[in-house]
Structure 1
C-alpha cells in the first residue's frame, strides 16, 4: 500500500486499516511460531504498512 493512497483516506478509515493490519500481523506471528509461515517477507511488509498508517495518522493529527 502506498502512502499517497493512505493520505487520501480519512482518519476513521485509517484507524480501521490499522486494526486490520495489526490483526494480520498477529496472525502472521502465530504462523511463524507454529512454523506454518512460508513467506517470511510478509511479516516485514505488514510491519512497514503499520508504520506508514501510523505516520499518516500522526501527520493528520498535527495538521489540526
Structure 2
C-alpha cells in the first residue's frame, strides 16, 4: 500500500473505532467524542486518542499477519 491508499485505510480504521464505541463517524469532526457519550466521558481526549491509535496499529498489524 502506498500514500493515499494507506491514508484511506487509516481513516476507515479510525471510523471503525468510533463505530465500535457506539458513536457515528459523522460525530467525530463535529464534537469531541467525550461530549457525545457519557460512558466515554471518563476518558480524557488524550486517552481516547491513544486508544484510537492503538486500535489503528493493532488493526494494521492484524491485516499484515493475515496475508
Give the structure-2-normalised TM-score: 0.41
| Higher RCO (CA-CA < 8 Å; seq separation 6+) | 1
Name whichever structure is richer in helix by fraction.
1
Give the structure-1-normalised TM-score: 0.43
